[in-house]
């Protein structure tokens, strides 16, 4: 049977009519069934040793197109739909995006599952099946409002497995229900994303946006990712949630060990657990506890677990290095506390001279999750070369001195199947036409560099970008109701809203450009500045920054003098689906975090792969990008990480000095609370942004602002030499191969996991 016939058969069974006439939703459901059925026929990756990648987040995105690509039938399906006057893009609109993650670390986990399956590695993701994810973002009165992100109400890829575990809390226990999502590899086998929900979880308790009773643990535990922890009840809920995840995960791992006929002592030979950031860290004491209930001595259990667990650090931001009060842990997981105390006592006894600096439980009765991972895991990795160096030399120097052999770097990567083949079929086909399609497996684009002086190739590359920009303009008109000119420069900053990522600096540039245009100094070509970002619900300044950007959008787009030259668009509810639309159309990739603060970034890699040119600081993987493409093919600015680290150490940065000492900076910052903006927005929110910039500015916006404006101007000028710009874009693509998640995962496997790839 052809694909068309199979699809028609499924539609007939549902009484949904022909492919031509079926409603979009029915057609989506039919294609889902067809694809899921084909995935079921794929061999599940197994092996003597398997990886459990445990993570609070998996930002997997929609799966239909990705699965069609990995099954090798996307072309066929598209052709079948086209013949019936339908399109895959139309059908994908009906697929909900799973609300299982939040940002870079969750997206990384998703890319790694794709790569592991592609490389034939027996690997499963393990996490929680949130009902409503982080939240669904809406803009109301130019402010972010949070709502439940409903995604499980429509047919999707999720299946219940029938496997259940009981997770013990002090005076009750909760039943963990295991769901699975298939993870297809490109041409290869199948892994799984295994997600636990609580049998008692109940979304009906959510009222008034994302409000709910934080004490009703049985009903609330798996509703949201990262529930607000700004109060005591919220912190307790986080601990309950983390423990629920890792207890179920640990029980699953030990069950599978036993089912395969292996003894508990042999765990390290048959399983490796990658702890993705510190949210799953309690799996260490939980596994020790479970092994002890199997009769193991504590010393032996500690050894077994230490040889099984490896930890990935994703951040050096102090507020993100999790520390839980002993009190909270005593309330939520009292049965783990004796083990955590024992783990702490052992490390303190082993290094008494530095006990205060490396203790798991510090003098303020806070339990440091990362420290537990480092002491009791066999590997600690950072996620970009600079990040790992900063961990070793500064942030975790005491631990590096203790365990130099545990530390290693694994620079992040992205899957080219999703971020090029799926998101940007035009560019994908263009590249394949030039160098063949070996890159889909080996990630090697270097032959593209041979075309760097080839005028015809460069012109075609520009034409591909222009086509993508037109397509995005149509999509934006439809989805966001804004008109943007495809001839303008698309300047894009999409990532979580955080002060260290410095969206506020970009906003100050927007103000600068607005004032330039108002003063009659017109740019050579219009610029469209696109933002996409969610702010954590309790992160006031991040929400204020969203408000500022939305106010600027309203002011500028509504000003007939300015809007022909400058547009600002902030897309609502930024997610993977948006990223896939925006990135292929990008000219300028904004990667402007304060040096030393962005561990790696992966957005930077997606943009580079799609032929955007980076405007960035020497932070995270930008450092490696600039080494690979050469400084002539990237626009760098700002203070280096050494200087920034020195400024923190000496308290040498005072934003008021920059504000008072530079009338230009003063003018831009003052505009935040200008008559024009106050008239549009909320003075309270705008004043907070203003005040923070002048009085605190912890992430040193004003330090780099002048140079940012200068370099961005130079970049806009450079855009006018279209062929030279195309050459830069081409060389960026040509050197993107290193950032394939296949490379990253192969490195994890060679140096940490040691799994045997399965031949399929």
Q: Catalytic residue positions?
A: 314, 495-496, 501, 602, 606
Give the whole-angstrom CA distance, residue 143 versus residue 545.
9
528 near ligand PLP (CB under 6 A):
no
383 or 752: CB nearest ligand PLP: 383
**Stretch near ligand PLP under the rule CB under 6 A, chosen from 135-143, 268-276, 387-395, 595-603:** 595-603
Taking the complex as a whole, how short is the minimal distance between the CB of residue 279 and ligand PLP, in angstroms?
A: 17
276 near ligand PLP (CB under 6 A):
no
267 or 383: CB nearest ligand PLP: 383
Eight-state DSSP code of residue 182: E
455-479 helix and 425-435 helix, angle to the nearest 10 degrees: 170
103 or 285: CB nearest ligand PLP: 103
497 near ligand PLP (CB under 6 A):
no
Buried b or exposed e, range 718-736, using 16+ CB within 10 angstroms: ebeeeeebbbbbbbbbbbb
Which one among 67, 97, 103, 752 touches ligand PLP, defined by CB under 6 A?
103
Taking the complex as a whole, how short is the minimal distance between the CB of residue 600 and ligand PLP, in angstroms?
A: 7
**Stretch near ligand PLP under the rule CB under 6 A, chosen from 78-86, 225-233, 447-455, 601-609:** 601-609
DSSP strands (E only) in 518-661: 527-532, 566-571, 588-591, 613-616, 635-636
599 token code pair: 């561990």
283 token code pair: 């799996």
579 near ligand PLP (CB under 6 A):
yes
Site for ligand PLP in 10-69 (CB under 6 A): 59
Site string for ligand PLP, 106-135 (x = CB under 6 A): -x----------------------------
Site for ligand PLP in 730-749 (CB under 6 A): none
Return the closest-CA partner of residue 308 out of 659, 753, 756, 760: 753
Handedness of CA 97, 103, 105, 111 (dihedral sign): positive
Is residue 600 within 8 A of residue 624, CB to CB? The reply is no
Taking the complex as a whole, how short is the minimal distance between the CB of residue 645 and ligand PLP, in angstroms?
A: 21
Give the whole-angstrom CA distance, residue 511 versus residue 530.
14
Taking the complex as a whole, how short is the minimal distance between the CB of residue 236 and ligand PLP, in angstroms?
A: 28
**Stretch near ligand PLP under the rule CB under 6 A, chosen from 281-289, 382-390, 596-604, 678-686:** 596-604
602 near ligand PLP (CB under 6 A):
yes
Taking the complex as a whole, how short is the minimal distance between the CB of residue 605 and ligand PLP, in angstroms?
A: 8
485 token code pair: 């000119």
Give the whole-angstrom CA distance, residue 258 versus residue 577.
40
Q: How far is CA 740 from CA 202, 411, 600, 650, in A?
A: 39, 10, 14, 38
Taking the complex as a whole, how short is the minimal distance between the CB of residue 579 and ligand PLP, in angstroms?
A: 4
8 or 604: CB nearest ligand PLP: 604
Is residue 312 within 8 A of residue 279, CB to CB? The reply is no
480 token code pair: 């966001």
**Per rule CB under 6 A, count of chain residues that contact ligand PLP:** 12
Which one among 227, 603, 616, 737 touches ligand PLP, defined by CB under 6 A?
603
576 near ligand PLP (CB under 6 A):
yes
498 near ligand PLP (CB under 6 A):
no
Taking the complex as a whole, how short is the minimal distance between the CB of residue 338 and ligand PLP, in angstroms?
A: 39
Give the whole-angstrom CA distance, residue 391 versus residue 6.
54
Give the whole-angstrom CA distance, residue 140 versus residue 31.
36
194 near ligand PLP (CB under 6 A):
no
109 or 396: CB nearest ligand PLP: 109
Write the CB contacts of 632 (distance below 8 Å, at least 6 apart in sequence): 728
- SS3 of 408, please? strand
34 or 383: CB nearest ligand PLP: 383
Which one among 62, 375, 495, 639 touches ligand PLP, defined by CB under 6 A?
495
Give the whole-angstrom CA distance, residue 326 versus residue 337.
8
Q: Which helix (H) or strand (E) holds 174?
A: strand 173-184
189 near ligand PLP (CB under 6 A):
no
Taking the complex as a whole, how short is the minimal distance between the CB of residue 384 and ligand PLP, in angstroms?
A: 11
**Stretch near ligand PLP under the rule CB under 6 A, chosen from 358-366, 456-464, 597-605, 629-637:** 597-605
308 near ligand PLP (CB under 6 A):
no
Q: Phi first, then psi: what are they for 536, rounded to 5°?
A: -55, 140
Taking the complex as a whole, how short is the minimal distance between the CB of residue 610 and ligand PLP, in angstroms?
A: 12
Q: Phi first, then psi: what are they for 161, rounded to 5°?
A: -100, -15
Taking the complex as a whole, how short is the minimal distance between the CB of residue 385 and ligand PLP, in angstroms?
A: 16
493 token code pair: 């900053």
Residue keyed to tokens 């108002």: 518
562 or 576: CB nearest ligand PLP: 576
248 token code pair: 């179920």
**Stretch near ligand PLP under the rule CB under 6 A, chosen from 101-109, 385-393, 472-480, 622-630:** 101-109
Taking the complex as a whole, how short is the minimal distance between the CB of residue 482 and ligand PLP, in angstroms?
A: 20
95 token code pair: 């697929």
Which one among 67, 70, 428, 575 touches ligand PLP, defined by CB under 6 A?
575
Site string for ligand PLP, 606-635 (x = CB under 6 A): x-----------------------------
Beta-carbon count within 10 A of 680 CB = 17
Give the whole-angstrom CA distance, residue 307 versus residue 271.
10
601 near ligand PLP (CB under 6 A):
yes
Q: Phi first, then psi: what are they for 305, rounded to 5°?
A: -70, -40
104 near ligand PLP (CB under 6 A):
yes
> Nearest residue by C-beta to ligand PLP?
603
Q: To 10 degrees, the CA torsion angle through 464, 470, 471, 475?
A: 160
CA 456, distance to chain mean position in Å, is 36
Q: Which helix (H) or strand (E) holds 460?
A: helix 455-479
107 or 131: CB nearest ligand PLP: 107
Residues at the interface with ligand PLP (CB under 6 A):
59, 103-104, 107, 495, 575-576, 579, 601-603, 606
């Amino acid at each position: 049977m052809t694909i068309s016939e199979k699809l028609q058969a499924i539609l007939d069974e549902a009484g949904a009519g022909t492919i031509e006439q079926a409603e979009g939703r029915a057609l989506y459901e039919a294609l889902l069934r067809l694809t899921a059925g084909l995935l079921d026929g794929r061999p599940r990756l197994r092996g003597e040793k398997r990886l459990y990648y445990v993570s609070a987040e998996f930002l997997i995105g929609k799966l239909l197109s990705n699965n069609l690509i990995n099954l090798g039938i996307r072309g066929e399906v598209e052709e079948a739909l086209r013949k019936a006057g339908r399109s895959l893009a139309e059908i994908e609109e009906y697929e909900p995006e799973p609300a299982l993650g939040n940002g870079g670390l969750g997206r990384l986990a998703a890319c790694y599952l794709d790569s592991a399956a592609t490389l034939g590695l027996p690997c499963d993701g393990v996490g929680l099946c949130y009902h409503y994810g982080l939240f669904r973002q809406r803009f109301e009165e130019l402010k972010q409002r949070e709502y439940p992100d409903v995604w499980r109400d429509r047919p999707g890829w999720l299946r219940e497995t029938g496997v259940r575990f009981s997770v013990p809390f002090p005076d009750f226990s909760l039943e963990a229900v295991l769901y699975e999502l298939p993870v297809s590899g490109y041409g290869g086998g199948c892994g799984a994303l295994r997600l636990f929900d609580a049998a008692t979880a109940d979304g009906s308790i959510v009222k008034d946006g994302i409000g709910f009773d934080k004490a009703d643990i049985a009903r609330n535990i798996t509703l949201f990712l990262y529930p607000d922890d700004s109060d005591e009840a919220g912190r307790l809920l986080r601990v309950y949630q983390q423990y629920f995840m890792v207890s179920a995960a640990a029980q699953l791992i030990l069950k599978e060990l036993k089912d395969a006929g292996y003894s508990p002592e042999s765990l390290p030979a048959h399983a490796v657990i990658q702890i993705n950031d510190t949210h799953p860290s309690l799996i260490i004491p939980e596994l020790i506890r479970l092994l002890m209930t199997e009769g193991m001595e504590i010393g032996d259990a500690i050894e077994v677990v230490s040889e099984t667990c490896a930890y990935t650090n994703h951040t050096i931001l102090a507020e993100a290095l999790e520390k839980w009060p002993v009190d909270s842990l005593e309330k939520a997981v009292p049965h783990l506390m004796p083990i955590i105390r024992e783990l702490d006592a052992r490390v303190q006894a082993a290094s008494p001279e530095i006990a205060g600096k490396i203790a798991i439980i510090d003098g303020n009765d806070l339990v440091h999750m990362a420290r537990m991972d480092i002491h009791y895991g066999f590997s600690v990795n950072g996620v970009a070369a600079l990040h790992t160096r900063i961990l070793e030399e500064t942030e975790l120097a005491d631990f590096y001195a203790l365990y130099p052999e545990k530390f290693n770097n694994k620079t992040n990567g992205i899957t080219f199947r999703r971020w090029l083949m799926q998101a940007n079929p035009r560019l994908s086909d263009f590249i394949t036409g030039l160098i063949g399609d070996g890159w889909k497996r080996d990630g090697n684009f270097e032959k593209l560099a041979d075309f760097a002086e080839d005028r015809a190739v460069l012109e075609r590359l520009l034409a591909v970008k222009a086509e993508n920009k037109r397509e995005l303009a149509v999509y934006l008109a439809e989805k966001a109701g804004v008109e943007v000119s495809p001839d303008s420069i698309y300047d894009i900053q999409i990532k979580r809203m955080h002060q260290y990522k410095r969206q506020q600096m970009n906003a100050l540039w927007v103000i600068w450009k607005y004032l330039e245009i108002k003063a009659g100094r017109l740019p050579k070509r219009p610029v469209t500045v696109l933002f996409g970002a969610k702010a954590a619900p309790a992160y006031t300044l991040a929400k204020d920054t969203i408000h500022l950007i939305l106010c600027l959008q309203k002011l500028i787009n509504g000003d007939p003098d300015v809007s022909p030259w400058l547009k600002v668009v902030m897309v609502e509810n930024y997610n993977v689906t948006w990223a896939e639309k925006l990135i292929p159309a990008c000219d300028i990739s904004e990667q402007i975090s304060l040096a030393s603060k962005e561990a790696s970034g992966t957005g930077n890699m997606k943009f580079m792969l799609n032929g955007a040119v980076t405007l960035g600081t020497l932070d995270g993987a930008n450092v490696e990008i600039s080494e690979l493409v050469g400084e002539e093919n990237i626009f760098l600015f700002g203070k280096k990480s050494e200087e920034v680290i020195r400024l923190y150490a000496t308290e040498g940065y005072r934003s008021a000095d920059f504000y008072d000492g530079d009338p230009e900076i003063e003018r831009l910052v003052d505009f935040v609370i200008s008559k024009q903006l106050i008239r549009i927005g909320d003075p309270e929110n705008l004043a907070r942004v203003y005040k923070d910039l002048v009085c605190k500015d912890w992430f040193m916006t004003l330090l780099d602002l002048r140079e940012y404006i200068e370099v961005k101007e130079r970049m806009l000028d450079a855009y006018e030499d279209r062929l030279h710009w195309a050459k830069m874009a081409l060389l960026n693509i040509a050197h993107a191969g290193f950032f394939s998640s296949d490379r990253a995962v192969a490195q994890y496997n060679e140096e940490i996991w040691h799994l045997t790839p399965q031949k399929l």
